Structure 1
Amino acid sequence: MCGITGFIQWSGDLTQDSQILVKMTETMSDRGPDASGTWISNPCAFGHRRLSVIDPENGAQPMIVHDDDDVYAICYNGELYNAAELRSELVKRGHHFRTHCDTEVLLVSYIEWGPACVDRFNGIFAFAIWDSVREQVFIARDRLGVKPLFYAYIDGTLIFGSEPKALLQHPKMEPVVGPEGLAEVFIIGPARTPGQGVYKDMKELRAGHAMIFSRDGLRSYAYWRLDSHIHEDSVEETAAKLRELLQDTLERQLVSDVPVCTLLSGGLDSSALTALAVQYYNRTNQGQVHTYSVDYVGNEKHFKSHAFQPGADAPFIQRMVEELGTQHHYIEFDTPELVESLNASTLTRDLPGMADVDGSLYLFCREIKKGATVAVSGEAADEIFGGYPWFHREEMLNSGTFPWSVAPDMRASLLSPEIREWIRPLDYLGDRYADAVREVPKLRGETGQQAKMRVMSYLNITRFMPTLLDRKDRMSMGVGLEVRVPYCDHRLVQYVWNIPWEIKMTGGREKGILRKALEGVLPDDVLYRKKSPYPKTHNPDFLAAVKQQMLDILDDPSAPILPLIDKNKILEIAASPEASSNLPWFGQLMSGPQLFAYLAQVNNWLKTYNVAIR
């Protein structure tokens, strides 16, 4: 895993801009702590920071291949899980390899098949390739958007990078945010609209998309989309197929030349991956699997059950550790650390994020990095299999908006009247929801309820899931840890997409078909446990700290957030009983403490990045 960046322009001498490229590259030293490289050859400038996972000795980038007089160069972030099969096929086609790394496999695949190479990849990736034969740069991102890629096309120059901070080092890119960007921050969040970079002129290459930049201009296109068709497998056949896919996916993703661990919450998704990893390690004599979990000081005392977090994780974590015999590492954070992490996580993401959930994940990954370089996570199973409460509540299914944004009026009320009038947040939200629904690949003949569930699944896979993947990538790579997400294998996602809702609900339970597929893999009490999300703190000290932080910001006349918000409304919320609650009342996903933490993140972002609003 790595960080990539660069720029391409068809006029001028780019060698004069080498210091710009170096600055862009060095912004991502946390993503790639092991090595750094740059390459400039008109009209192309590539930069790379490396986290060594496969073939540490020979995988330096940017990687250059000379084929007679032709030149191909690549900067690449990701992993190809079918690199061995691709290498074998390419050798049969006459190609020779000088390394064992998947970077060379990807580049030679492009040399052999051109832009169509992406159709053959199983993996997570974002890369750019300079092709002197076609005189073009080819840029692509993996099908589910696990790896990030931002870009800007300004005055004939294409600028790109794994993170916005890299682009912001280019002199043509300014930290300006307009009405759409503010709407993304205040009304769409936490699920950013696909393609939106928030900063003016900055975009995100959408998942499953590629771009070609040549002298004829810039063209982007989708090379992969979810495909709707009739599911013909029985319940038994579906469960067997799921287990086969999940096992194959996980075993591919356990390959590494550096230590690998799993994240274990005691829930269905992470426990299943850990159990399958233990089976694989036992079968291949690779020793003991290391597992990690996170919690907070005082949570045992202060935890209160609710629909979005029905039970504590700790007893189930211990249950799985004893069942599987893993080497477990309990990580625990106290309130002061968590409050301090809010700023670090904002700078890591280059945007305000998911408040304490971002911060704690950043701290968690930082601790894991001390013992491992690669971790396996159960991210995305709920979006794919329908595990969230909003899949099962009629009022959310019929809300006419994103289920994580069902309190838009409350969100809009936080804004100053001038900003509300300028960005028209409710109209923006409605337009983005309508855009998402229009995209859904419908299946002819589906009933109203089936069609409704397909829409809900699409919203989760294409809107909410990318937010969690972005969080996972940025917080983990911010400390040089690679996190792999087996549930995001495109074969698995495509297969589950077409499983009818009644089969997904096998046994009358959410994610019922996944539970059936894992029978015999997990003990029944874990197999049938209710979903519990990534843990957050329930300590009232956190509320007190972030509320006071926000009140201090409101008292600071120079605070950049003040012109954007309704100060009196925030003060009113701070004095309300809801503000003291850890229940998700503010737009379903945000509690009172998280609201104050988020607004503080927004202020810190505006101040640190010197963001101009216009």
Structure 2
Amino acid sequence: MCGITGWVSWNKDLTRYPAILENMTETLAPRGPDASGKWLTANCAFGHRRLSVIDPAGGAQPMVRRREDDTYVIVYNGELYNAPELRRELESSGYSFRTTCDTEVLLLSYMEWGESCVDRLNGIFAFAVWDDNRRRVFLARDRLGVKPLFYALRDGELLFGSEPKAILAHPGFPAEVDAEGLAEVFALGPARTPGHGIYRGLKELLPGHCLTFTPEGASTRAYWRLEALPHRDDEEDTAEHIRWLLRDTLERQLVSDVPVCALLSGGLDSSALSALAADYYARTGQGTIDTYSIDYVGNDKHFRASVYQPNPDRPWVDRMREHLNTRHHFVEFDTPELVDSLRSVVLARDTPGMADVDGSLLLFCREIKKNATVAISGEAADEVFGGYPWFHRKEALEANTFPWAISTEARFGLLSPELAKAIRPEEYVADRYRQAIGEVPHLDGEDPAARRMREMSYLNITRFMPTLLDRKDRMSMACGLEVRVPYCDHRLVQYVWNVPWSIKSKNGREKGILRHALRGVLPDDVIDRKKSPFPKTHNPAYAQAVKRWVLDILDDSRSPLRPLVNAGQLRKLAADDLDSFQIPFFGQLMTGPQTFAFLAQVDTWLREYKVRLVL
């Protein structure tokens, strides 16, 4: 895993601006703490920060290969899980390799197959290839958008980077946000519109898309989308195929030249991956795998069950670590460091995020990085297999909006009248929902119930899942930790996407077919455990700390947040019991403390990035 950036211009001599490329590249140092590289010619400047995972000695970037008079240069962030197969195919076509890294496999794949190379890739990736002879740059992003890639087009120039900060480091790209950008922040929150970069003029290359930039201009195309196809397998064959896909995917993703661990919450998704990994380690003589879990000081006393978080993780973590005999690490955080992390999260994301859910993940990754460089995570299983409560609730299924955005009036009431008038949050969410529903592919003759469940799955995979993948990438890479997400294997996602809901929800359970597929892999009580999301703090000290923070902001006449919020409503909320303020948002109940933490993040973002609002 790495950080990539670049600048392509048809009207400037970029060799005159090495300092700009250096600044853009160094913003990504946390993503790649092991090495830095630059490549600079008149029209193209590439920068790279490296996190060494495969072939630490031979995989330096930017990587350059020449064939006759042609020069090809690549910067790449990601992992190819089918690199061995591609390598053998390329060798049979006459190519020779100088390294054992997948970067060289990817570059030679482009040289052999051109832009269609993306159709052959199994992995998580964002990359750019400069084709010197044809005077073009080709950018591509993996099918599910696990790895980020932002870009901006201006006056015959292309800027790109793994994170917005790399592009913001260019003097020609100021940190400006217009009404649409603010609507993304306040109306949609982290579940932003795919392709939207928040900052004015900034875009994110969509998952499964590629971009070509030449002197004639830029063009983008989709090379992969979810397809609606008839599902021919019966229930048992479906479970067997899912089990095979999971095992094959995980074993590909355990390949590494540096230490690998697994995240273990004691839930179905992470327990399954930990069990399969432990089995693979035992079969291949690699010993015992390390596992990690997270908790908070005081949660043993303050935990309160809810429909979104029915029970604490700790007893289930104990159950699984003993069952698998892993080398387990309990990581626990206290309120002061969690509050402090809210600022670090903004700098990692370049935008406001998911409050303490982000902050705790950042701290968690920082601890894991002390002993490992790669982690396996159960992210995305709920979106793929239908695990969230809203898949099973009549009011969510019948709502004409995103299921995680129901009952947002209370949140919108915290905006200032001026901001609400500028961004029209209800209209904005409705427009984005119509856009999403309009994209859904269907089968001819689908009955209304099947059609709606297909829509719900599509919304979760294309709108909510990117939120969590973005969070996982940004928090982990801010610590130089690579996190792999087996449930995002495109073969698995495409297959399960077409599984009928009657099979997917076997026995009337969320993720029913996954539970069935894991019989014999996990203990029955773990298989039957009710879904519980990433844990949050229940310590009242956290609520008091973020409340004081926001009240101090409201008392600061220089605060850039003040004109954007309804100060009276916020003060009233602060005077009440913060936990009484609960709305379904961000995949769980967004409580008063999380709302205050989010607003504190907005204030931090506007100050730290010196954001200029263009309304």
Q: TM-score range by the shorter chain?
A: over 0.9
Measured at CA, do residues 529 and 300 of structure 1 come closer, stay the same or move farther in structure 2, by a change above 3 Å? same
Match of 1:243 in 2: 243
Match of 2:13 in 1: 13
Q: Write the letter of the residue equivalent to 1:457.
A: S
Q: How far does residue 585 in structure 1 lie from its aligned partner after superposition?
A: 5.5
Match of 1:89 in 2: 89
Aligned residues: 613
Match of 1:518 in 2: 518
Unaligned runs of 5+ in 2: none
Q: Does 1:452 align with 2:430?
A: no
Match of 1:180 in 2: 180
Residues in 2 aligned to 1:318 and 1:198: alpha-carbon distance in whole angstroms: 42
Contact conserved, 2:76 with 2:125, CA < 8 A, in 1? yes
Q: SS of the counterpart of 2:3?
A: strand
Measured at CA, do residues 263 and 480 of structure 1 come closer, stay the same or move farther in structure 2, by a change above 3 Å? same
Match of 1:595 in 2: 595
Q: Write the letter of the residue equivalent to 2:301.
A: K
Unaligned runs of 5+ in 1: none
Q: How high is the TM-score relative to the length of structure 2?
A: 0.99
Q: How far does residue 428 in structure 1 lie from its aligned partner after superposition?
A: 1.1
Q: Write the letter of the residue equivalent to 2:453.
A: M
Residues in 1 aligned to 2:585 and 2:462: alpha-carbon distance in whole angstroms: 23
Residues in 1 aligned to 2:383 and 2:408: alpha-carbon distance in whole angstroms: 22
Q: Deviation per CA, 1:118-176: give whole Å up to 9, x if none.
A: 00000000000001232210000000000000001012110000000000011111100
Q: SS of the counterpart of 2:190?
A: coil
Match of 1:258 in 2: 258
Q: Deviation per CA, 1:9-60: give whole Å up to 9, x if none.
A: 1122100111000000000100000000000112110000000000000100
Residues in 2 aligned to 1:223 and 1:574: alpha-carbon distance in whole angstroms: 49
Q: How far does residue 266 in structure 1 lie from its aligned partner after superposition?
A: 0.1
Match of 1:127 in 2: 127
Taking the TM superposition and a 5 Å limit, the aligned residue runs for 1:367-406 are 367-406=367-406
Residues in 1 aligned to 2:584 and 2:438: alpha-carbon distance in whole angstroms: 29
Residues in 2 aligned to 1:110 and 1:42: alpha-carbon distance in whole angstroms: 22
Higher mean C-alpha deviation, range 495-504 or range 411-420 = 411-420
Taking the TM superposition and a 5 Å limit, the aligned residue runs for 1:296-315 are 296-315=296-315
Q: SS of the counterpart of 1:78?
A: strand
Contact conserved, 2:78 with 2:126, CA < 8 A, in 1? yes
Q: Write the letter of the residue equivalent to 1:359.
A: G
Residues in 1 aligned to 2:536 and 2:259: alpha-carbon distance in whole angstroms: 27
Taking the TM superposition and a 5 Å limit, the aligned residue runs for 1:266-415 are 266-415=266-415
Residues in 1 aligned to 2:110 and 2:51: alpha-carbon distance in whole angstroms: 23
Match of 1:198 in 2: 198
Contact conserved, 1:154 with 1:172, CA < 8 A, in 2? no
Q: Does 1:152 align with 2:139?
A: no
Q: Write the letter of the residue equivalent to 2:418.
A: E
Q: How far does residue 424 in structure 1 lie from its aligned partner after superposition?
A: 1.5
Contact conserved, 2:406 with 2:584, CA < 8 A, in 1? no
Residues in 1 aligned to 2:24 and 2:282: alpha-carbon distance in whole angstroms: 44
Q: SS of the counterpart of 1:590?
A: strand
Q: Does 1:224 align with 2:224?
A: yes
Higher mean C-alpha deviation, range 518-527 or range 581-590 = 581-590
Contact conserved, 1:581 with 1:593, CA < 8 A, in 2? no
Residues in 1 aligned to 2:475 and 2:308: alpha-carbon distance in whole angstroms: 23
Q: Write the letter of the residue equivalent to 2:337.
A: E
Residues in 1 aligned to 2:201 and 2:585: alpha-carbon distance in whole angstroms: 31
Match of 2:579 in 1: 580
Q: Deviation per CA, 1:63-121: give whole Å up to 9, x if none.
A: 00011110000000000000000000000001111000000000000000000000000
Q: SS of the counterpart of 2:557?
A: coil
Match of 1:419 in 2: 419
Q: How far does residue 228 in structure 1 lie from its aligned partner after superposition?
A: 0.3
Identity of aligned residues (%): 64
Q: How far does residue 410 in structure 1 lie from its aligned partner after superposition?
A: 2.1
Residues in 2 aligned to 1:286 and 1:44: alpha-carbon distance in whole angstroms: 44
Match of 2:569 in 1: 569
Q: How high is the TM-score relative to the length of structure 1?
A: 0.99
Q: How far does residue 565 in structure 1 lie from its aligned partner after superposition?
A: 1.1
Q: Write the letter of the residue equivalent to 1:355.
A: A
Residues in 2 aligned to 1:207 and 1:369: alpha-carbon distance in whole angstroms: 27
Residues in 1 aligned to 2:585 and 2:145: alpha-carbon distance in whole angstroms: 28
Q: Deviation per CA, 1:417-470: give whole Å up to 9, x if none.
A: 111111111111111000000000111111111111111100000000000000
Q: SS of the counterpart of 2:590?
A: coil
Taking the TM superposition and a 5 Å limit, the aligned residue runs for 1:37-116 are 37-116=37-116
Residues in 1 aligned to 2:228 and 2:524: alpha-carbon distance in whole angstroms: 33
Q: SS of the counterpart of 2:251?
A: helix
Q: How far does residue 407 in structure 1 lie from its aligned partner after superposition?
A: 2.2
Residues in 2 aligned to 1:324 and 1:90: alpha-carbon distance in whole angstroms: 40
Higher mean C-alpha deviation, range 165-174 or range 251-260 = 165-174
Residues in 1 aligned to 2:589 and 2:4: alpha-carbon distance in whole angstroms: 32
Contact conserved, 1:415 with 1:564, CA < 8 A, in 2? yes
Contact conserved, 1:410 with 1:586, CA < 8 A, in 2? no
Contact conserved, 1:385 with 1:496, CA < 8 A, in 2? yes
Residues in 1 aligned to 2:302 and 2:409: alpha-carbon distance in whole angstroms: 30
Residues in 2 aligned to 1:267 and 1:187: alpha-carbon distance in whole angstroms: 31
